[in-house]
Amino acid sequence: MDRIRIVGGNKLNGIIPISGAKNAALPLMIASLLTDETLILDNVPRLADVAQLQRILGNHGLDIMSKGKRPGDHEYQGQTLHISAANIIDTTAPYELVSKMRASFWVIAPLLARMHVAKVSLPGGCAIGTRPVDLLIMALEKLGAELQIDGGYVIARAPGGLTGAEIDFPKVTVSGTHVALMAATLAKGTTVINNAACEPEIVDVADCLNKMGAKISGAGTPRIVIEGVKKLHGARHTVLPDRIEAGTYAMAVAMTGGDVQLAGARPELLQSALDVLTEAGATITPNNEGIRVTRNGAGISPVKVTTAPFPGFPTDLQAQLMALMACAKGSSHITETIFENRFMHVQELARFGARISLDGETAIIDGIAKLRGAPVMATDLRASVSLVIAALAAEGETTVNRVYHLDRGFERLEEKLSACGATIERISG
């Protein structure tokens, strides 16, 4: 199993290109099931989760052609996927595929909308709390689907097709909004999603669906209206840049010091995180090429942060911020409100010498002058990269084990960091 070895103490200087957003690429790939014409997606990141979803879609009979670099392309430009769901030959998503990635459960929505039947295993993925699918099922039932759970599978039918309805989510749910959005595009009549998630990735998927002929308005607000259409067609769409990756590297620069241009990053996608970094002592400068992050000389100031749905501080940057605050001059408070059990990285950060105590859903971090390198283990996708951030600033050598978690969400992490002066390498086997 691969490991990553890091020797800390180097400042980061240079350019880090930001990849396409995993959290948009996955639902966009799933949306290809809604049409029998080809959907072309540009700037798709090369990630383990993308490859896994390609296998899942292939199981339904989709043909996926991947185009890599072309003459003149930048080495970090994402791949282009041509996805054709002309013939869906299987409406079952089996346990052995779905159990590896939660987002693959979302295929239930386009399969039900287009084929009027689906059998999808209950999902797997990161072990962050329960993250149940009850709100997704509720949304599909509102649209007229008949659902039952049998032997670990959700069996869904809509014999006459789905019908538009009013869907009121009791809490903001990104996955529920994605599912309702995709299912409603081919439903008869009008669907209104209330208390919808406002994340940029939702807007990106809605933009792509509109290019395919859907009639969606209000994406990015808590109220989305979808006028159902009979058929969707092919389209071409570029995946938006990954705000979590941009925020992660911004925190790495704040941690080590230095001066890095995050090429292609869009500040409006992560303004709350940039505000927190400014408060912590980094200098954030948006420009035509992306976002420039610097921290020269100034120490790291403590902050108080509570995670919240967009446009609040993202839960997916909580672990990275905690690593940064481990070296702040004072005491920081981070409260996690989105996922229970999302402090699994605390005990691993403690191996660096970080002083972190938990009080319910709040972590109190008492900053220390220097972390020490240590052997650590990744526990989930976002937590694993917090260990990398800590290691970049720690004295001595760190080995991060179980890096397959990193490969799920960060494209060419070692290459991007080493190009900016980090001493980091992957050790295979």
**Residue-level pLDDT at 156:** 97
The token pair at 144 is 């007229």
**Residue-level pLDDT at 125:** 46
pLDDT band at 63 (very low <50, low <70, confident <90, very high): very high
Measured between alpha carbons, how far is 271 from 62 in angstroms, rounded to an integer? 37
pLDDT at 286 over 80: yes
98 is in an annotated binding site: no
57 is in an annotated binding site: no
**Residue-level pLDDT at 126:** 41
**Residue-level pLDDT at 166:** 98
Lowest mean pLDDT among 133-137, 187-191, 317-321: 133-137
* Average pLDDT estimate for 87-101: 92
* Active-site hit among 126, 198, 208, 420: 126
Measured between alpha carbons, how far is 132 from 2 in angstroms, rounded to an integer? 31
* Average pLDDT estimate for 228-233: 98
Question: Is the model more confident about 81 or about 297?
Answer: 81
DSSP 50: H
Catalytic annotation present for 208: no
pLDDT, tens digit, 9 for 90 and up, residues 69-80: 565 556 567 899
Query: 259: Cβ–Cβ under 8 A, 6 or more apart, which residues?
Result: 12, 13, 253, 292, 293, 294, 296
Please name the residue that has the structure tokens 């997704």. Answer: 136
pLDDT band at 83 (very low <50, low <70, confident <90, very high): very high
DSSP 57: H
135 is in an annotated binding site: yes
**Residue-level pLDDT at 185:** 98
pLDDT at 164 over 90: yes
- In percent, the amount of the chain with pLDDT more than 90 equals 85
314 is in an annotated binding site: no
The beta-strand segments (E) located in 241-314 are 258-263, 283-287, 290-295, 304-306
Of 80, 83, 142, nearest to 107 by C-alpha is 83
- Kindly list the structural domains of the chain, giving each domain's residue range(s) and its CATH number in brackets, ordered by start: 3-16+299-427 (3.65.10.10), 22-236 (3.65.10.10)
DSSP 286: E
pLDDT band at 68 (very low <50, low <70, confident <90, very high): low
132 is in an annotated binding site: yes
66 strand-pairing partners: 81
pLDDT, tens digit, 9 for 90 and up, residues 185-212: 999 999 999 999 999 999 999 999 999 9
49 is in an annotated binding site: no
Q: Report the DSSP pairing between strands 38-44 and 235-238.
A: parallel
* Average pLDDT estimate for 153-176: 96
Lowest mean pLDDT among 125-129, 184-188, 302-306: 125-129
403 is in an annotated binding site: no
Q: Are 389 and 345 in contact (CB under 8 A)?
A: no
Q: Average pLDDT of the chain?
A: 94
Please name the residue that has the structure tokens 């996690």. Answer: 336
Which strand ranges, in their side-by-side order, compose the sheet holding 63-67?
63-67, 79-84, 38-44, 235-238
Of 290, 287, 240, nearest to 265 by C-alpha is 290
Measured between alpha carbons, how far is 355 from 365 in angstroms, rounded to an integer? 6
